[in-house]
């Protein structure tokens, strides 16, 4: 992927295009200034926080902190996965599924 840096409005926009949160290592920084990593966001989801606002509050982040624009993208990936893990299945039907539940 080629990025025209003159068209990128902010670092978060560039980051959003480059990080595949589903494959990122747990120690991938989300907000380096506050030492918040992917593992911290995922742990907050495991602790029951499922909205951007809840996660940001749990991690003491504000809208002014760098990287907070990435939290929703992380939630979009991990909340359904953790929910499925907790319930033993996705509950969303089998159409188009590539999972191995055997359903």
Does residue 57 have a pLDDT over 60? yes
Query: Does the pTM of the predicted model rise above 0.75?
Result: no
Report, as an integer, the average pLDDT of 43-59.
96
Candidates 27, 29, 1; CA nearest to 14 is 1
Q: What is the spatial distance between Cα 92 and Cα 23, in angstroms, rounded to a whole number?
A: 22
Burial of 18 (0-12, 13-18, 19+ CB in 10 A): exposed
Query: Using an 8 Å Cβ cutoff, are 42 and 6 in contact?
Result: no
Long-range own/partner contacts, residues 98-102 (CB < 8 A, 24 or more apart): none
Does residue 69 have a pLDDT over 50? yes
Does residue 13 have a pLDDT over 90? no
């Amino acid at each position: 992927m080629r990025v025209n840096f003159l068209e990128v409005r902010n670092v978060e926009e560039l980051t959003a295009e480059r990080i595949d949160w589903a494959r990122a290592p747990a120690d991938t920084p989300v907000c380096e200034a506050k030492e918040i990593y992917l593992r911290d966001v995922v742990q907050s989801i495991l602790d029951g926080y499922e909205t951007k606002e809840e996660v940001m509050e749990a991690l003491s982040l504000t809208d002014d902190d760098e990287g907070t624009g990435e939290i929703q993208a992380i939630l979009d990936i991990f909340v359904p996965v953790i929910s499925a893990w907790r319930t033993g299945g996705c509950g969303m039907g089998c159409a188009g599924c590539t999972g191995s539940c055997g359903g």
